[in-house]
Structure 1
Amino acid sequence: HMECRDRYFMIAVDFSFTGEEPRFEAVGTGVYLITEQYAAQCGYSVSVLPLQDQVVLRASYFSCHTDNTDDEVFTFKFNLIANHEGKEVTYAMNKTCSPSLPWSPREVTCEENYMEVSVRSDVACPTGTKKDDWDAAVQTSYTSATTDWQVMFQRVEQELMPMNLSEAQKQGYEFDLTDGRLVFRTPYGQPDCFSTEVNGVPVEVVHATLFSRQSWVVLMVDLVAACSLEGLYDDDGYMMWETPEVLHPLVSGLHDTQVHIGVDGELVEQPVAEERGYTVEKHNATVQISIPYNAEGGYRKSFVDDDLYEYYVFHLYLEQISVDEDHVDTRLRFHRTLSTPLLPRPVFTENAIHEEHVFTIYLGDVPDDVELAAVNLNGHKCTIPFTNTSSHTITKVAHPNNTHGYTLRVPFVDPVVIQQFSKEDAAMQQKLDINYTLTVLPENEPFYHLASVMALTDVPPVFDAVCSESGISFKLDHRPFDYLWYISIDTELLTSELAAQHGYIMSNDSQSLLLDVPLYTHGYEYKDITLKGFLGTFEILVRDHETSEVQSSTVKTCPFSTTEMICSTDGRMTVVADLSRAVPSGGIPARTNLIDKYCGPKEADDSRALFSFPLNSCGSIVKLNKGSVTYENE
């Protein structure tokens, strides 16, 4: 992507295209590889931006190999050298740009790697210059000036000897005289630069005086570039950057300063800046810039250092326009990358235990560039996504604030859940230790988040029940905490005495309880009785040892074949009688009756008859005994 901006030309290349970090060459009268040192001297800035997955080249309009026509039309030619599958491929790129804004009399650019100042060649002598500095420069230049242009660097209370421009270029400085401007550029940290503090803000300054002597006339041009450097700190969710309103005493006459802010090398309108939360304030002749961490135009990245952290990056672009007392404009532009320190970015878990005996754990506040890779449940590693055969599930939950979460559901009965009895709580304890493995993308750097959940449940004993031809068999495996409950048939406690009384067959040892309940014994309920068969149901109740309240029950219904039977239920007598031996040959069971001749069978076949009638009807004979009442019919 190539674009002409106000004061520079930009090329942005995606890493997905180049494969590796690309290289650039400037094309002019020859081809020049843009190294780090060459870029700073010649007006290029190459930035690797991993958060945008890009490498960006910015070229000053006055960069070394740019074709300049009248300071209005600039033609750039570059080669991009990319690596494709181990082979280098060169792409030629060229673009012609015209600045969208007219040049100010004095312009200073504070790039990431160099300072550049350009002045209109017809600007009058600045009245803000300190007289002592100017006199010293005049005296030195007058005594040593030649017809060739020379440069003298000035430092505080230090007099430096002049040098010709070719010598200055060898030392890393660059001078250029265009049709209407004089340009001076220097990398940061040059021997002739000096650092100072202005209003407590570190500033790097270079003060160069160009001069040439023509007969009795000495031509002098004073060039000063000053750029604030550090001045960055974060405060309560804001990145902050400071720069002095006046960077150097030589330009101390500046006033009426206007400040505009932007991002990624592009200024934004004031309403847009305010909407995004960017603020510009002036305090004691210092300009303070405040940018919220999560402001639009910035970039966020997760980072692992044992735990999860995050940092924010903002590519600040700042313009200061000042007017001095001679009504000469100075336009100062900064390119600065602001970044926060590593900030803790913890994820969290919330636990919920549902009535259906399921652990539900929510892992939340997971950033967009972090993904869940695996979950370890009590030592059992489960990769994401879970297999369809597992009873535990995990669901991703998206949120509009650039975060997401995961909901993990694990039933208590899942084999990974540890089940143990808690004597202290007199209840079953379900425990689940969780180790989430999360990875930061695209590096796939892992980090881990631990959580533990526990639940207590009352779990009454449950019998296994099996049908047989003659009845129903119940089995209960003993557990250490089964003393919390007792077992009853209806309201009566199940004991060996009760079993003997009702005809049950019971055996009870340290391992298990076995109870065989023969058909027609006490406690059965019969339904759907026909000559072919019927259903017999038997229920065992589990009651709380202290309150006697029913906690659970085991109900078993089995089909039985109908043979000769007698039973009474709910005040009715039901009889199935085989009449083949009692009825004379040729008799018809359907035409039989009870003592009351109007009470015939409900159902009959060739040899059997089924009667069902209230106990006190059909001529039944009632006999009162000492401990019982007997009803008879025939």
Structure 2
Amino acid sequence: MARVLLFGFILSVAAIVPEVWMQTAPPGFLKTECRDSVFWVGLNKHFLAGKFWQINVVDQSGYIFPVTPRFASQCGYTVAVDHWSVEFRASVLSCCVHIVNDEQFNLTIQVQVSGTDGVASTYIQTLSCLYSPWAAREIFCEENYMQISVERNIPTIEEDYAQDAEDWALVLPEASSAGSGIWQVVFHVPGGKRSMTVKEAHERGYGINTTVSRILLRAPYHANEAQIVLVQGVPLSVIRSTSFYKLHWVILLIDTAVACPVDGITFTDNIITWTVPRIFTPIVTSAVHQDNTSMGVNGIKLGPTRMAERNYTLDKNDTALAIRVPIGAQDGYYKSHVVDGQYGIKYSINLFLEHLWEDESWGWNKINVIHPVTTPFIPQPLVLTDDTIPEQWLFNVTLGNFLPDVELKKLTLGSQSFPVDEENQIFNMYNWTTTNETTLNRIFILEVPMESPVVDRKYIGDGVEQYTLDIIYTLTVVPENVIFTHTARLIHKHKIVLPVANGFCDEENMTLVITHGTLDQYWIPFIGNVQLTRHSAEQNGYMLRDNGTHLILVVPHDAAEVVHEAMNNQGLRNRFDFRLKDNKTLDVLTNFSVSCSFSTADFITCLPNGRMVITVLKLEALLGLDATKMMLKDRSCKPKESDEFKAAFEFSANSCGTIRRFEKNYMIYENEVVYFRESEPTSDPIYRLAISCHYHINDSLHIQFEHQVNPLPAVVPGYGPIVLVMQLSKDVLYSNLYEEGDYPVVKYLTDPLYFEVQLLHIEDPQIELFLQDCWATASPDRNDIPQWPIIVKSCENKADVHMTIFHPVTSNERVRYPTHYKRFEVKMFAFTVGNLNTIVRQVYFHCSVVLCRKDPVSGQLCPGQCIPGKQRLGRSAGAEHHLQGSVSSGAVVIVAEIPTLESKIVTDIAVKSYSWPLLLIGGVTIIVASVVLRIIGHKCQMNRLY
């Protein structure tokens, strides 16, 4: 038989393995089928993962032929690999197939598998398929080759036989001159013909063979003699050839032309359409009487019922056949891809077409086409789901959706990178596979504690801490090992408890008491620009105590980090700043300041002989100035002594530009210390300190400095009607107030009362409301007696067992200007008059208030030193800078049973003490000053019982 000619050529590259250890394939590894005229073998890729593998074919003599790409296209084999499996297909007319009567076909394959450890296994499988009857001409279009087989029987003589007379006339000269007993082939190419022996054709990659009744020609799509011909707009790869055999005086010519579609695929968003010509005109030269078409997938024909179930359609008209399948159909598969760093997928399916037709030249013809189709790249926007659980202080984020062929290789959190296949204490990583209709989707779940060092923590103000987690996912598509990345940023904010501070002073020191917040462990304390530690406190003479809930800091008024704010007729005003900074960025998160006035008697001396000795301290606003360049009115009068912090002057009353004037019983000498900008010595001084000495007959006394600061531009507020209201709140949040119709309000003994005093209708943010005195009476008349004091000169009544509590006011939807509000809390008490058996059942509350301009005048401000949030303490300014008024609440009814107590008459309450109020949170200065309070009770019988 002529088919052995091919083996004669291939034997030179084959090898006989005398001793091969053969094994039976494990269950599930190999799956075999006969699909029409094709051997089909499926290899489970699970068994091949991470291993080297090779498929070979074995002929009847035991020779082994590796299935390489060239061998496959020449000999009729196809190896297709996807993510899930390896598919091996072979034509029943392939090389090494043992053919019995062109009806039974036997093939032996060998699969070699070896691991990285060097251990190799060899599995052998023998396949047997039956195929008949054959059509007169059968064309098989595979993924990597096209094949034609035709009958080579000598036909009977017919009178009108003239088939392909033109082509045969071209072949006849070669056939006549050819040697006997040799098969040859003539290829018809543009402009002529090309004749080859079978051996020459083999060398060029063709496969030519014969069986008992058929002759076969097989060629790769890229063969030199192949041409692309458009038929009905569909490109076909066409090889026109005539094979012949000469034996003595007989010449057998056989038409072995073949044509296969190489495209015809179009896509919409959801549908793949494959169009082929109904008549392959390059190889059909006579009329077609009838035809029949079937479609399928993976080489398997599908019936109408199965096609309908899967939404497949096969349409045909006079010129074309069209197969349509949905993208994502179950017979195909998705594969991950990366294009320009973006993740996406492609869908692939192996479409199958069988077309039969009858024509006058051949009778019945059959063409089978296996056509792999892959969609264009479909970008897949990745889904990042933030399932963070703030209550557990845990970032929880899910990234998806990926196909199962995507693996996570590395995580970069913040600036640190971590392989995901190694254990760590920083994060937990999980991957999970879910099913979406017919597609498996993989997601990656990441958990990172918010207190992890890879999380950026930052205080952003208003009691809010922000936690930021920057993530870079490094992923790879297997088995191609294509790497891509995805970045994400998670931001979560948490409300925190801020530290709260109180400040006060004595004659020598300034004291700050801080109640710790919830995140103080992340904040570093500073005094000025020096970090506060126990060592630095000891070095600078501070007293520092911390009991876990409170920090107490006592700073001497002349300590190194204390700054001088001003000198005026109240004395020298000093301040120290306490700052809390982030322990990573050192950003200032919040600060408190304590400011106090101290005596300046040591800084000015008016001697009886008229000489004046002045020591000028460099104030905070002048820290960048050179103290040696300070001068008096007479610019020639320079400091007698100076250093980095102060300048000292000594001069007589009739020198250095000193002027004299008389006022009532005093003779007054006045001068001033000034400082000019060097670049503008003729302009107004940037600093001016007025000084004076007052002399009385037979006496001399010290008068403190008057510090003038060049005024800054200011907004002049408008004026209008002033309305004050005092309301009782239902809770400490001041979110729900009693309305006018709710009074009288009933309260039990010791219930807390939450009062709010508000300035209505005024839109001027430069106005601030202060409480001077608040008291209770038994009638709506605020001047009625007896009176029970609650707030005395802006401070809580320290003679009271349960002192008043002030509450800060912050901006919200209801509160536009916090400075127009004051809030305080007082516990409900029993009011008695005369004999303690006489109990007042209904009381009214009243407050006297002061409205002040916020901008300072002559270094003085309005009263209000005990009110939270007030920054500076001063004495009452002139009437042109403040207004006084009063306001009252509705009636409050006391519900209690008061026992009879011994009568007690309080006719005079005198309390002499130093009051050091003020506190402000979140970077606002705390002001403290010395005040002596004396509370004189009304001379009547009164008492306050709890």
TM-score normalised by L of structure 1: 0.68
Listed one character per residue, the Cα deviations across residues 275-303 of structure 1 (whole Å, up to 9, x for unaligned) are: 33434344672334444332212121223
Query: How many angstroms does 1:24 deviate by?
Result: 0.8
Listed one character per residue, the Cα deviations across residues 346-366 of structure 1 (whole Å, up to 9, x for unaligned) are: 203356899979977654434
Indicate how the Cα distance of structure 1 residues 379 and 307 shifts in structure 2: closer, same or farther if over 3 A, else same. same
Determine whether 1:195 maps to 2:236.
no
Indicate how the Cα distance of structure 1 residues 387 and 545 shifts in structure 2: closer, same or farther if over 3 A, else same. farther
Amino acid at match of 1:94: T
| Residue aligned with 2:257, SS | strand
| Residue aligned with 2:283, SS | helix
Query: How many angstroms does 1:109 deviate by?
Result: 0.7
8 Å contact 1:412–1:430 — kept in the other structure?
no
Please provide the CA RMSD for this pair. Answer: 5.0
| Residue aligned with 1:236, SS | coil
Determine whether 1:178 maps to 2:211.
yes
- Mapped to 2, the partners of 1:393 and 1:44 lie a distance apart of 44
**In terms of mean alpha carbon deviation, does 60-69 or 343-352 score higher?**
343-352
Determine whether 1:314 maps to 2:352.
no
Determine whether 1:155 maps to 2:188.
yes
Query: How many angstroms does 1:332 deviate by?
Result: 0.9
Query: How many angstroms does 1:334 deviate by?
Result: 1.7
Listed one character per residue, the Cα deviations across residues 578-616 of structure 1 (whole Å, up to 9, x for unaligned) are: xxxxxxxxxxxxxxxxx99xxxxxxxxxxxxxxxxx775
- Mapped to 2, the partners of 1:395 and 1:87 lie a distance apart of 32
Match of 2:38 in 1: 8
- Mapped to 1, the partners of 2:266 and 2:460 lie a distance apart of 56
8 Å contact 1:435–1:448 — kept in the other structure?
no
8 Å contact 2:74–2:145 — kept in the other structure?
yes
Listed one character per residue, the Cα deviations across residues 51-102 of structure 1 (whole Å, up to 9, x for unaligned) are: 1242x33221112221111222111123333324325544332122213x63
| Residue aligned with 1:251, SS | coil
Match of 2:657 in 1: none
Indicate how the Cα distance of structure 1 residues 284 and 376 shifts in structure 2: closer, same or farther if over 3 A, else same. farther
2:301 to 267, 271, 279: 267
Listed one character per residue, the Cα deviations across residues 204-235 of structure 1 (whole Å, up to 9, x for unaligned) are: 22233233456765433222211122444544
8 Å contact 2:433–2:441 — kept in the other structure?
no
Match of 2:237 in 1: 204
8 Å contact 1:349–1:362 — kept in the other structure?
yes
Determine whether 1:323 maps to 2:358.
yes
Indicate how the Cα distance of structure 1 residues 261 and 446 shifts in structure 2: closer, same or farther if over 3 A, else same. same
Listed one character per residue, the Cα deviations across residues 365-407 of structure 1 (whole Å, up to 9, x for unaligned) are: 3444335566555546677699998799989694634335567
Indicate how the Cα distance of structure 1 residues 153 and 213 shifts in structure 2: closer, same or farther if over 3 A, else same. closer
2:374 to 313, 334, 339: 339
| Residue aligned with 2:436, SS | coil
Query: How many angstroms does 1:8 deviate by?
Result: 1.5
- Mapped to 2, the partners of 1:494 and 1:448 lie a distance apart of 63
Indicate how the Cα distance of structure 1 residues 404 and 63 shifts in structure 2: closer, same or farther if over 3 A, else same. closer
Amino acid at match of 2:36: D
Match of 2:441 in 1: 403
8 Å contact 1:360–1:409 — kept in the other structure?
yes
Indicate how the Cα distance of structure 1 residues 431 and 323 shifts in structure 2: closer, same or farther if over 3 A, else same. farther
Structural mapping, 1:465-544, within 5 Å: 490-491=754-755, 501-503=796-798, 520-522=801-803, 541-544=807-810
Structural mapping, 1:307-456, within 5 Å: 307-325=342-360, 328-349=363-384, 363-371=399-407, 376=412, 378-379=414-415, 398=434, 400-401=436-437, 402-405=440-443, 416-421=455-460, 428=464, 430=466, 432-440=468-476, 442-443=478-479, 446-454=483-491
| Residue aligned with 1:22, SS | strand
Indicate how the Cα distance of structure 1 residues 192 and 360 shifts in structure 2: closer, same or farther if over 3 A, else same. closer
8 Å contact 1:43–1:62 — kept in the other structure?
yes
8 Å contact 2:830–2:944 — kept in the other structure?
no
- Mapped to 1, the partners of 2:444 and 2:206 lie a distance apart of 57
8 Å contact 2:57–2:96 — kept in the other structure?
no
Match of 1:577 in 2: none
- Mapped to 1, the partners of 2:142 and 2:175 lie a distance apart of 34
Query: How many angstroms does 1:621 deviate by?
Result: 2.7
Match of 2:903 in 1: 621
Query: How many angstroms does 1:133 deviate by?
Result: 2.4
Indicate how the Cα distance of structure 1 residues 216 and 20 shifts in structure 2: closer, same or farther if over 3 A, else same. closer
Amino acid at match of 2:312: Y
Amino acid at match of 2:471: N
Q: How many equivalent residue pairs?
A: 540
| Residue aligned with 1:190, SS | coil
Determine whether 1:293 maps to 2:327.
yes
Query: How many angstroms does 1:491 deviate by?
Result: 4.0
Match of 2:104 in 1: 73
Determine whether 1:44 maps to 2:310.
no
- Mapped to 1, the partners of 2:905 and 2:226 lie a distance apart of 128
- Bigger radius of gyration: 2
**Consecutive unaligned residues in structure 1, runs of 5 or more:** 467-471, 505-518, 524-538, 552-567, 574-594, 597-613
Match of 1:608 in 2: none
Match of 2:692 in 1: none
8 Å contact 1:621–1:631 — kept in the other structure?
no
8 Å contact 2:431–2:442 — kept in the other structure?
no
8 Å contact 2:906–2:942 — kept in the other structure?
yes
Amino acid at match of 2:903: I
8 Å contact 1:228–1:247 — kept in the other structure?
no
Determine whether 1:29 maps to 2:68.
no
| Residue aligned with 1:273, SS | helix
8 Å contact 1:9–1:58 — kept in the other structure?
yes
Match of 2:538 in 1: none
Match of 2:874 in 1: none
Listed one character per residue, the Cα deviations across residues 232-258 of structure 1 (whole Å, up to 9, x for unaligned) are: 454434444443322343314346443
Indicate how the Cα distance of structure 1 residues 436 and 294 shifts in structure 2: closer, same or farther if over 3 A, else same. farther
8 Å contact 2:463–2:496 — kept in the other structure?
yes
2:256 to 215, 219, 223: 223
Match of 1:58 in 2: 89
8 Å contact 1:377–1:432 — kept in the other structure?
no
Query: How many angstroms does 1:481 deviate by?
Result: 7.0
Match of 1:535 in 2: none
1:251 to 284, 305, 309: 284
- Mapped to 2, the partners of 1:386 and 1:62 lie a distance apart of 53
- Mapped to 1, the partners of 2:322 and 2:249 lie a distance apart of 48
- Mapped to 1, the partners of 2:174 and 2:429 lie a distance apart of 83
Match of 2:138 in 1: 107
8 Å contact 2:499–2:515 — kept in the other structure?
no
8 Å contact 1:392–1:411 — kept in the other structure?
no
- Mapped to 1, the partners of 2:373 and 2:470 lie a distance apart of 38
- Mapped to 2, the partners of 1:473 and 1:145 lie a distance apart of 111
Indicate how the Cα distance of structure 1 residues 176 and 394 shifts in structure 2: closer, same or farther if over 3 A, else same. closer
Query: How many angstroms does 1:435 deviate by?
Result: 1.9
- Mapped to 2, the partners of 1:36 and 1:128 lie a distance apart of 42
Indicate how the Cα distance of structure 1 residues 89 and 354 shifts in structure 2: closer, same or farther if over 3 A, else same. closer
Query: How many angstroms does 1:268 deviate by?
Result: 2.7
8 Å contact 1:150–1:163 — kept in the other structure?
no
Amino acid at match of 2:128: T
- Percent identical residues: 23
**In terms of mean alpha carbon deviation, does 398-407 or 15-24 score higher?**
398-407
